[in-house]
């Protein structure tokens, strides 16, 4: 998975709403606003009874163009339905100065002043209560518990996994035909609405929801939450996976996820430009803290944790510091979730690259075009570095401060390796994006960069005994995050692999088919 550390900023999406919430909701909260909102949810959004569903089907059409689709919204101030996609609801809001509307499919509240879907605690509570009632009327109590809160019902009952009834078992026996995953299946592909400069979040969410082991964990209902409040990010991710693999094709609105990210990672709150790589690390950190390991202990120690996040993403980075006098070696091993790689063109000197015998051929990469490869960046990352006289360390063998060399290698590889190309350079004198093209392969062998391979390195060259049957250190590409634009203004997109050799480009709400060439030619 390639993750670019770039900033996405849309100058047209002006931040009008603070992390504390929308300031325009107060104008709606007058008189019997709660009862009015409940009626809207009951009749036009969740529609629990057959009668309300019929009423919704007949009534909910755009009052301007007569369409049933195009993301219908209802004005909260008057009985007026209009489509969001063609901006008919926007025209109504502008002419009538009715600033709030509700999405009739998902129940999200949109503020035309903030130009964003908003979160309000009171409104959210009403939405949940009415959704729970509607599902109960439709005979879906367990599903209610899973979607609203994977922890417990409003009645306080402990969540229990779904078991088929006798009637359902009978139906399954008489209908043996099952939905099969075919090569052209689009299940799991779903766009995400940009909530105002949130492409940095959307691109990482697409990568995470297409991480195979993470998908299997969440779709098999493995998370057992004991948090008292509705603030568990793991529970929200669980619902997000349900949304992605529900079969719905309309774009999902991840406003609850955004609110939880703002709650648990304050440095990402607001609508100013944000960093996709920074969001990934923050999301993994919060998920890690909200997870429990297999022994039922909270994941407080990153070095001794068995939660799903650490099982999939955590590796071990070995640092060897060698004294230049006695050649004594001091070794430390630290956990890591990603590997940040310097690029040529940065102010940090990039060592001369010599083709051949360096792992590039092993990974199917070539210097024929003069392009820098991912293997080149990994070679630089794992090369010995002379620390110099200004960074002397106290040698345990010499018992004095001596010059030394430092070398990083991989002691333990994670199941999913995240490579972060450091495209943005920030210094006292310089702020810029490094646009150097870095080629990367579909299959990557990390054997040359393992601590166990260090002894076979001679003069910066890798002497490798290639074992075609050993796949322990080999990776297959399944997601690439890209940034288009400059440091001041840009946009994030993601390439994800749906099946073998089936690639798609995720650009917020838009999902399009992509070729392998499109993926490998991308900046990364």
pLDDT tens across 280-297, in order?
Answer: 999 999 999 888 654 455
pLDDT of residue 20: 56
Q: Are 13 and 272 in contact (CB under 8 A)?
A: no
Identify the segments of the chain with pLDDT beneath 50.
1-19, 141-159, 294-295, 302, 355-357, 367-368, 458-459, 461-463
pLDDT of residue 301: 54
pLDDT of residue 275: 82
For residues 84 and 69, give the distance between their C-alpha atoms in angstroms, rounded to a whole number. Answer: 9
pLDDT of residue 141: 46
Largest CA distance in the chain: 86
pLDDT of residue 494: 95
Active site residues: 199, 491
Q: Are 419 and 341 in contact (CB under 8 A)?
A: yes
pLDDT of residue 9: 29
pLDDT of residue 326: 85
pLDDT of residue 400: 76
Q: Are 190 and 243 in contact (CB under 8 A)?
A: yes
**Dihedral sign from CA coordinates of 501, 506, 512, 518:** negative
Q: Are 270 and 261 in contact (CB under 8 A)?
A: no
pLDDT of residue 92: 95
Strand pairing category for 400-402 and 393-395: antiparallel
For residues 436 and 453, give the distance between their C-alpha atoms in angstroms, rounded to a whole number. Answer: 29
For residues 186 and 392, give the distance between their C-alpha atoms in angstroms, rounded to a whole number. Answer: 57
pLDDT of residue 8: 34
pLDDT, tens digit (0-9, with 9 covering 90-100), for 441-499: 999 999 988 888 765 554 454 445 555 556 678 999 999 999 988 877 788 999 999 87
DSSP annotation of 500: T
DSSP annotation of 65: T
pTM: 0.64
For residues 126 and 213, give the distance between their C-alpha atoms in angstroms, rounded to a whole number. Answer: 35
Q: Of 9, 14, 486, 7, give the one whose Cα is nearest residue 278.
A: 7
């Amino acid at each position: 998975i390639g993750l670019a550390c770039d900033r996405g900023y849309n100058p047209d999406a002006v931040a009008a709403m603070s992390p504390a919430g929308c300031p325009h909701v107060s104008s709606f909260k007058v008189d019997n606003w709660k009862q009015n909102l409940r009626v809207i949810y009951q009749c036009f959004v969740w529609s629990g009874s057959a009668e309300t569903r019929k009423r919704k089907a007949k009534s909910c059409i755009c009052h301007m163009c007569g369409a049933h689709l195009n993301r219908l919204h209802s004005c909260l101030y008057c009985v007026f339905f209009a489509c969001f996609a063609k901006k008919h609801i926007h025209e109504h809001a502008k002419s009538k100065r009715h600033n709030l509307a509700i999405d009739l499919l998902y129940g999200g509240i949109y503020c035309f002043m903030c130009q964003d879907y908003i979160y309000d605690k009171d409104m959210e509570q009403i939405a949940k209560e009415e959704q729970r009632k509607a599902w109960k009327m439709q005979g879906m109590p367990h599903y209610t518990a899973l979607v609203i809160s994977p922890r417990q019902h409003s009645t306080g009952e402990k969540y229990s996994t779904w078991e088929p009834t006798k009637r359902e078992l009978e139906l399954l026996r008489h209908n043996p035909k099952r939905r099969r995953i075919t090569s052209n299946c689009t299940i799991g592909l779903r766009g995400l609405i940009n909530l105002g400069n949130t492409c940095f979040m959307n691109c990482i969410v697409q990568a995470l929801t297409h991480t195979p082991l993470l998908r299997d964990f969440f779709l098999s209902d493995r998370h057992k939450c004991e948090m008292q409040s509705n603030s568990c990010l793991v529970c929200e991710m669980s619902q997000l996976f349900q949304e992605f693999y529900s079969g719905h094709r309309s774009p999902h609105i991840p406003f609850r996820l955004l609110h939880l990210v703002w709650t648990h990672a304050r440095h990402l709150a607001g609508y100013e430009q944000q960093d996709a790589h920074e969001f990934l690390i923050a999301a993994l950190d919060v998920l890690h803290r909200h997870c429990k390991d297999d022994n039922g202990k909270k994941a407080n120690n990153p070095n001794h944790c068995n939660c799903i996040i650490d099982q999939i993403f955590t590796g071990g980075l070995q640092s060897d510091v060698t004294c230049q006098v006695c050649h004594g070696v001091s070794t430390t091993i630290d956990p890591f979730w990603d590997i940040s790689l310097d690029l040529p063109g940065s102010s940090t000197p990039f060592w001369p690259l010599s083709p051949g015998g360096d792992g590039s051929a092993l990974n199917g990469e070539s210097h024929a075009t003069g392009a820098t490869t991912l293997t080149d960046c990994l070679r630089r990352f794992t090369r010995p570095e002379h620390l110099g006289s200004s960074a002397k360390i106290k040698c345990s063998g010499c018992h004095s401060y001596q010059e030394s060399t430092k070398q990083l290698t991989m002691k333990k590889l994670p199941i999913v390796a995240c490579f972060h190309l450091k495209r943005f350079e920030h210094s006292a004198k310089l702020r810029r994006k490094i646009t150097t093209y870095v080629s990367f392969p579909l299959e990557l062998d990390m054997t040359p960069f393992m601590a166990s391979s260090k002894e076979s390195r001679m003069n910066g060259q890798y002497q490798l005994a290639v074992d075609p049957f050993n796949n322990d250190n080999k990776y297959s590409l399944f997601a690439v995050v890209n940034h288009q634009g400059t440091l001041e203004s840009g946009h994030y997109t993601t390439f994800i692999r749906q099946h073998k050799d089936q690639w798609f480009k995720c650009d917020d709400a838009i999902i399009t088919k992509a070729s392998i060439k499109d993926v490998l030619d991308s900046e990364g």
